[in-house]
Amino acid sequence: MVFVFSLFWTICFLHGEPALGKTDSVTNIFGPLSQPAQEIKETSLLVLAVCAVIFVVVGGLLLYTLVRFRHRAGDEASEPPQVYGSNQIELAWTVLPILIVLVLILVTSRTIADIQNRKPPSGSVHATVVGHQWWWEIRYPELGIVTANELHVPASTGSNRQPTFLKLQSADVAHSFWVPQLAGKTDLIPNRENTMWIEPTNPGTYLGNCAEYCGTQHARMLIRVIVQSPDEFERWVRDQQQAISITTSAAEGRRSFFANSCVNCHSIRGTSAQGKFGPDLTHLMSRETLASGVVPNTTENLRLWVRDPQKIKLGCLMPNMQMSDREVDQILAYLQTLK
């Protein structure tokens, strides 16, 4: 038991060393790399310390009692003195917890107010995240960008504070946005708008999951937050803002794409494809993963996905379109022009 708690501490600190500047796939809440998570960690350490002290004291008392007052040979005949209670002692162990609780209440309320009542400073990035059964729609209304599953944000540096404020909505059922190293989770609930903010300082890719059970593929509704240096972020924004160039290559694929019902669910900016049910494909090839973080965005995976999404993500809402190999290849070629 004591062992459990010491382990607790070890893990917290071992993994607490932030892996600077590179993808840290171990998403330890005690290895925060962004403001709200950092503050939560500091509060948590205080709470952990209080709890550890309580555990040691009460656990120690228990152990002492068990050993000191164990039944010994020769005790059979007599009973111990019968004590019925003591008001003083009861009072003592009522007041003491109340005092501890008061301290915790103060700490908690301060942290809650601190995190929840933060107002966006000028220069903040604003993004809207919309949960869908089992992917994330990401919009930057001020920048005119729509993408999916990978949230790009600038790193906030000392001289140039650039937190990102998120509006959270849902298109269907309840989801929850959780990237442990950046912030606590906030739910995405239909017919409601929640907000949260992050202020990461180190470029890198941060992993997260949907944390509210949302149906069949809840487990594979992964989110990535890609933190870039302000310059890189600017470049990414410019790239995303560009309309796709209509190339002559992959013309058959293009025809095939628009002839099949792809366009009922997917949008490609600047074309007649304006479906809203599935992810926006305008800059599909700029994304690292497919199917909300399930597989890397490689040619092979993309081909597999176009042919039969159910093979990669069983139960997902994109059906197998029963296309011939040729059609798949054509559409693949077209999709690969969406850089």
Q: Please report, as residue ranges, which positions from 149 to 178 form the binding site for other proteins (by CB under 8 A).
A: 168, 172-174, 176, 178
Of the candidates 21, 60, 215, 319, which one interacts with other proteins according to CB under 8 A? Answer: 215
x/- map, 307-326, other proteins, by CB under 8 A: -------xx-----------
Of the candidates 131, 154, 163, 180, which one interacts with other proteins according to CB under 8 A? Answer: 180
Could you please report the per-residue DSSP string of 34-62? Answer: BHHHHHHHHHHHHHHHHHHHHHHHHHHHH
Report the alpha-carbon angle 272-293-8, nearest 5: 150
Which among 147, 131, 134, 129 has a CA at the least distance from the CA of 318? 134
Closest approach of other proteins to the CB of residue 312, in Å: 12
Which among 207, 209, 173 has a CA at the least distance from the CA of 190? 173
Residue with tokens 């690969």: 336
Closest approach of other proteins to the CB of residue 304, in Å: 16
Applying the rule CB under 8 A, the residues between 268 and 307 that interact with other proteins are none
Q: Is the peptide bond before 9 cis (omega within 30 degrees of 0)?
A: no
Phi, psi for 292 (deg, rounded to 5)? 60, 50
Nearer to other proteins, 27 or 201 (CB): 27
Of the candidates 17, 75, 234, 300, which one interacts with other proteins according to CB under 8 A? Answer: 75
Secondary structure class of 176 (helix, strand, coil)? strand
Nearer to other proteins, 51 or 143 (CB): 51
- Cα-based distances in Å from 90 to 50, 93, 246, 260, 319: 21, 5, 80, 76, 65
Of the candidates 73, 77, 88, 117, which one interacts with other proteins according to CB under 8 A? Answer: 117
Is the distance from CB of 150 to CB of 140 less than 8 angstroms?
Answer: no
For other proteins, which stretch binds (CB under 8 A), given 152-160, 190-198, 267-275, 300-308? Answer: 190-198
Applying the rule CB under 8 A, the residues between 82 and 111 that interact with other proteins are 82-86, 89-90, 93-94, 97-98, 101, 104-105, 107-109, 111
Which among 93, 92, 10 has a CA at the least distance from the CA of 48? 10
Closest approach of other proteins to the CB of residue 285, in Å: 22
Q: Is 216 in the site for other proteins (CB under 8 A)?
A: yes
* Number of residues near other proteins (by CB under 8 A): 99
Q: Is 112 in the site for other proteins (CB under 8 A)?
A: yes
Of the candidates 19, 189, 265, 312, which one interacts with other proteins according to CB under 8 A? Answer: 189
Is the distance from CB of 331 to CB of 257 less than 8 angstroms?
Answer: yes
Applying the rule CB under 8 A, the residues between 30 and 59 that interact with other proteins are 30, 36-37, 39-40, 43-44, 47-48, 50-51, 54-55, 58-59
Nearer to other proteins, 48 or 338 (CB): 48
Applying the rule CB under 8 A, the residues between 240 and 259 that interact with other proteins are none
Is the distance from CB of 241 to CB of 226 less than 8 angstroms?
Answer: no
Nearer to other proteins, 43 or 271 (CB): 43
Residue 127, number of CB atoms within 10 A of its CB: 22
